[in-house]
Amino acid sequence: MNRPITIAVLAIGGQGGGVLVDWIVALAEREGWRAQSTSVPGVAQRTGATIYYVEVIAAEASRIPVFSAMAAPGDVDIVIAAEWMEAGRAIQRGLVTPDRTTLIASTHRTFAVSEKEAPGDGMADSTAVTAAARAASQRFVAFDMAALADRAGSVVSSVLFGALCGTGALPFPRAAFEATITEAGVGVQGSLRGFALGFDGLATPPVTVRPVSAPLVDALAPVGHPPYDSLLARAATFPPAAHEMLAEGLRHVVGYQDIAYGKAYLDAVDLISQLDPASAEAPVPSSWPGASRPSTQERQGVPNRDTPSLTEAAAKYIARAMAYDDVIRVAALKTQPSRTPRIQQEMAGQILAVTEFMHPRMEELLGLLPPRLGTTIERRPRLVAALDRVFCGPRRIRTDTIFGFLTLYVIAGLRGRRRKTLRHARESARIDTWLATVRTVAAEDPALAAELLANQRLIKGYSDTHARGLDKFTRVMAASERLRGRPDAAAWVRRLRDAALKDEQGLALDAALRTVDTFLDERTAA
């Protein structure tokens, strides 16, 4: 019995899945075949993941084919996934089988909502999909087709169409594929470029490019701004392993505030670096004539490259702590010069309005006041409640209008007085307490000190997000104090932090803390 060729296409919104299916149907009909396509949308996935199903069969004058309306597990010849995890979803559904299925997939990622909403790293494991794809398919074709689409000025569907042609899974010549794109009449040149790149992608073996670290001297090379260059010169006296992170930390902190803030950042890192067992006598880059480095005797500990670098951890997490998100920071991000061109590019110039949905709490607004005035108002609940009714609540600010943009621009302009605000006083006090604990612990357990520095990952965002993160940070730090002295203290603090990053509500952290309480209570009883 003559049977159809069955094709499943899995794509998400904006990837041109519908266009790809239309091309396949038009191609088959152009070659005198019969074809049918159906689709089942899944709006709960990212921007709307959809499964398209196509059946094509050579036409016979004496018979009319009966097509299926949906892909059946174990009965699909070609699976096309426009995103890497969609390939995994096809394998899970049983659409990919080793005895018949050609799997064509783009290896790029478009993250799901469940991946984005995780407080920490919520990315799914892509390597599991790779192993499953190789085992489950008869033929496996995969490379970054989204990157090729960007190069061609097209969408990923055109590259997928080229890859489909290149596999030979459909018995049609390349000229027929290209004629189908041309006859569609929409974005023809870009689609043809994408098609060619996809077709050629099968002939080019994937190349793994290993990133080559820039020489350390380049990370802290002068930029031609004398005050900033002096900070870079000082950073060059720190252990070489931390140079790259120090360069990034300085860029972040100085851009957040000013040169003086960058000096305070290096002061804080230096206090930790002096206790770093991994610190060693390091050559000063030749680009800094006259630069000097503290002697080994001035730094405590014996160099040991097997010990995690406290200096590098300090360079990373102190910068994150000092560049906290407040109302000023949020306003600056929403009015930065590069934002409007980026939005216009993403929307292909079709901008009608840009509306910022903001919901400031009274705590954020009081944080802009001088410490004495802010705390005075906080001690008057009735006044706070009255001000909250007037100034807080949902706000919609049109930053594509002069008034809306200037409102946020003026708030962003308060950066110069940030260090005189109540919020800064409280953040500085928290950072000082945190780093004092790190320095105390570093003298006895450098590994634990590095984990305490990494706990800064728990604090991010502003408003309710910041409050939840700060609560988790406080609880993990309190538990770490109880764990001090144990040989596995660093490992347990890492587990607690990982648990805190698993969910927004902190349920995993609650469970991990109960485990810690159990064995600590048993030790106390013993």
DSSP per residue, 395-422: EEEETTSHHHHHHHHHHHGGGGGGGGSH
3-state secondary structure of 385: helix
Question: Does residue 191 contact residue 199 with C-beta atoms inside 8 Å?
Answer: no
CATH superfamily of the domain spanning 5-201: Pyruvate-ferredoxin oxidoreductase, PFOR, domain III (3.40.920.10)
Q: Given this model, what pLDDT does residue 289 score?
A: 35
Least Cα distance to 242 among 212, 262, 272 occurs for 272
Q: Cβ distance 486 to 492 under 8 Å?
A: yes
**Digits of tens for pLDDT over the chain (526 positions)?**
588 999 999 988 777 889 999 999 999 999 999 999 998 886 544 456 789 999 999 998 888 888 988 888 999 999 999 999 899 989 999 999 999 999 999 999 888 777 777 777 778 778 888 999 999 999 999 999 999 999 998 989 999 999 999 999 999 999 999 999 999 988 899 999 999 999 998 865 544 434 444 444 468 888 889 999 999 999 999 998 899 999 999 999 999 999 999 999 999 999 999 998 876 443 343 333 333 444 333 333 333 434 448 999 999 999 999 999 998 999 999 999 888 888 877 776 676 788 888 777 888 889 999 999 999 999 999 998 888 887 776 778 888 889 989 999 999 999 999 999 999 999 999 999 999 999 999 988 999 999 999 999 999 887 888 889 999 999 999 999 999 989 999 999 999 999 999 888 889 999 999 999 888 877 666 6
Q: What is the pLDDT, as a whole number, of residue 421?
A: 95
CA 331 – CA 412 distance, rounded (Å):
5
Cβ-proximal residues to 345 (8 Å cutoff; 6+ apart), any chain? none
Per the CB < 8 A criterion, the answer to whether 126 and 133 are in contact is no
Task: Give the pTM.
Answer: 0.71
CB 9: neighbour CB atoms within 10 A? 29
Give residue 363's pLDDT.
86
Number of H helices, E strands in the chain: 24, 8
Q: What residue spans in the chain does CATH classification 3.40.920.10 cover? A: 5-201
* Helix or strand holding residue 140 (H, E): strand 139-143
Q: Contact 192/139 with Cβ under 8 angstroms?
A: no
Q: What is the pLDDT of residue 393?
A: 66
> What is each CA distance from 309 to 83, 273, 314, 442, in whole angstroms?
37, 9, 9, 11
CA dihedral 226, 228, 229, 232 (to 10 degrees): 160
Provide DSSP, 171-231. S--HHHHHHHHHHH-SSHHHHHHHHHHHHHHTTS----PPPPPPPHHHHT---S-HHHHHH
* Contact (CB, 8 A) for 473 and 458: yes
Are 87 and 63 in contact by the 8 Å Cβ rule? The answer is: no
